[in-house]
Amino acid sequence: MAERTLLVLFGSQTGTAQDMAERIGREAKRRHLQCRVEALDSCDVANLIHEPLVVFVCATTGQGDPPDNMKMFWRFLFRKNLPSGSLCQLDYAVLGLGDSSYPKFNFVAKKLHKRLLQLGGNPLLPVALGDDQHDLGPDAVVDPWLVTLWDKILALYPLPPGLEIISPDTCLPPKYTLHYLPEDSPQPESDILQPAAPWAAPCELHPFAARVVSNQRLTAQSHFQDVRLIEFDIAGSGITFSAGDVVMIQPQNSPEDVQQFCQLLRLEPHRRFVLEPTEPGTSLPPLLPQPCTIQYLVTHYLDISCVPRRSFFELLAYFSTNELEREKLQEFSSAQGQEELYSYCNRPRRTTLEAMWDFPHTTCAIPADYLLDLIPRIRPRAFSITSSMLAHPERMQILVAVVQYKTRLSKPRRGLCSTWLASLNPEQGDVRVPLWVKKGGMKFPADPATPVIMIGPGTGVAPFRAAIQERVALGRRGNCLFFGCRHKSKDFYCQKEWEELVTKGFLTLFTAFSRDQEEKVYVQHRIRENGRLVWELLSSGNAHVYLAG
């Protein structure tokens, strides 16, 4: 009988596609299939020719772009020299997750499906196009599609004699078991982030622990929005960047949230443990030290402030000893309960920690082994770098708008990363932030004679400050900036710096302060007023135009 193996590969930017891929992995286990779930860039693409059965789950980002963790796979798959029959032994299915309010809705999934077909692959069923805009979210498409998928797979790979599909009432084993170490076992030196090896450029698995040099509020105290200019020392990191590049920052949970979480789950923060995979071949989470403390796990790894997904409630229901709580959890994890779940979680942006407070009997019964199945890891956040190495060698600056807003919940919602960054005070000792750099999507002209028109309202001005610093350091003029904010006196970021460059003849600056007069004035009004200049730069100067918001 053919070996019953399934490979589930995902391309995920925000975690939704990964969550979906893991759901398919769980459903495969219930059908006794050997199943691996991996990010597309973690698998060896050349081995696809040996895989009999693969399900691809992929999101579309930006303007029809593949997510970061499938870019290498994407480049390989579209190589011209791949023979047309190379995947003729492959049975596959593609599940796309997108948003129909974007013009290139599910572009990646459609293009992937078509390309696999060109290479000789055999689709088990048409591509599924999950849509965030649907009242029930992507599940409206995904749920029925999966029912058909399993019918097709079980027709090809029937259950072995004597085995039944594991009932949804049975909880599957956790991905890892958590073994506590005896309290008197020797302590490691420290589980604090170690600086990356000096010869390797920092990356997600080996970030650089950059020292915070300064953390300055740029907006007036009376202004509703707190915006920071934060500077890091990157000396000795091996990091290089140019204008338009992006810094990735790995944030952490607040000490208050960590403490609450540990109290709710009756965990001892200082207990040390090691993780062991339940199944051979499962790799350990790369960003967790072994051994590790509960404190480190909850502070640096578990995303207790994210809005929980359907899979969270599904797993939670298994641990519930309280009938009322269990019924509600089961409703939230059912197809029919998705509207209710949306109103409870997504609309008010309720966090995982807050949801746990609402199910206290269940929460205190969660086995520690299941923590990593229940709560996703904290994802890094991207910021435009707002300084140039030519102007500030061995330093890096970012502009951070601290995210805070109200929903119907009494407590204001706060952005995890921006709130944490704003709280860092370099005057209180050696404060470090794990970071690494990624190439950005903006490339500034190499020809020094090419003028540049930059439109950057609000913190959208961040990459343009880097570009202007870089161009000025190289003696390039022809820099034209349209900047907009609410009030000249409250949120005109880097005002002095711009005015000095104007005086020196390096910058042409147009500002729009939307609330400083009766009628609102925005950058587009200033562009229209200066239409003749803009057109001249475009038509005879061959100017490049950049827009960031």
CA atoms within 13 A on the CB side of 158: 4
- Tell me phi and psi for residue 35, to 5 degrees: -135, 135
**pLDDT (0 to 100) of residue 3:** 84
- Tell me phi and psi for residue 147, to 5 degrees: -60, -45
Q: Which fold has domain 452-547?
A: Rossmann fold (3.40.50)
Name the residue among 139, 136, 141 with its Cα closest to residue 342. Answer: 136
DSSP output for 327-350: HHHHHHTSSTTHHHHIIIIITTT-
* Per-residue pLDDT at 195 exceeds 60: no
User: Residue 165 has what DSSP assignment?
Assistant: P
- Output the CA torsion 139→143→148→150 (10° steps): 110
The identity of residue 161, as a single letter, is P
pLDDT tens column, 165-180: 999 999 999 999 999 9
Domain boundaries, the chain: 5-156, 208-251+380-438, 255-374, 452-547
Cα–Cα distance measured from residue 87 to residue 119, given in angstroms and rounded to the nearest whole number: 5
Look up the CATH number of domain 208-251+380-438.
2.40.30.10
- Tell me phi and psi for residue 358, to 5 degrees: -75, -15
Q: Are 479 and 256 in contact, with CB atoms under 8 Å apart?
A: no
Name the residue among 44, 49, 60 with its Cα closest to residue 9. Answer: 44
Domains 5-156 and 452-547 belong to one CATH topology: yes
Q: Which of 25-39, 128-142, 243-257 has the lowest mean pLDDT?
A: 128-142
The identity of residue 305, as a single letter, is S
pLDDT exceeding 70 applies to what percent of the chain? 97
CATH class of residue range 255-374: mainly alpha
Question: pLDDT band at 199, cuts 50/70/90?
Answer: low
Average pLDDT, the chain: 94
Q: Which of 11-15, 183-187, 221-225, 357-361 has the lowest mean pLDDT?
A: 183-187
Inter-residue long-range contacts of 523-529, CB under 8 Å, 24+ positions, other chains counted: 523/455, 523/457, 523/482, 523/483, 523/484, 526/482, 526/484, 527/455, 527/482
pLDDT tens column, 277-329: 998 888 899 899 999 999 999 999 999 999 999 999 999 999 999 999 999 99
Instruction: Take residue 508 and report the two structure tokens written for it.
Output: 């042409």
Q: Which fold has domain 5-156?
A: Rossmann fold (3.40.50)
pLDDT tens column, 232-268: 999 999 999 999 999 999 999 999 999 999 999 999 9
**pLDDT (0 to 100) of residue 121:** 95
DSSP output for 289-309: -SSEEHHHIIIIIB-TTSPPP
* Per-residue pLDDT at 197 exceeds 70: no
Q: Are 457 and 521 in contact, with CB atoms under 8 Å apart?
A: no
Question: pLDDT band at 191, cuts 50/70/90?
Answer: very low
Instruction: Take residue 200 and report the two structure tokens written for it.
Output: 């390797």
pLDDT tens column, 101-128: 999 999 999 999 999 999 999 999 999 9
Inter-residue long-range contacts of 425-433, CB under 8 Å, 24+ positions, other chains counted: 425/215, 426/211, 426/212, 426/213, 426/214, 426/215, 430/211, 431/211, 431/212, 432/193, 432/209, 432/210, 432/211, 432/212, 433/209, 433/210, 433/212, 433/232, 433/249, 433/250
Question: pLDDT band at 196, cuts 50/70/90?
Answer: very low
The structure's pTM equals 0.91
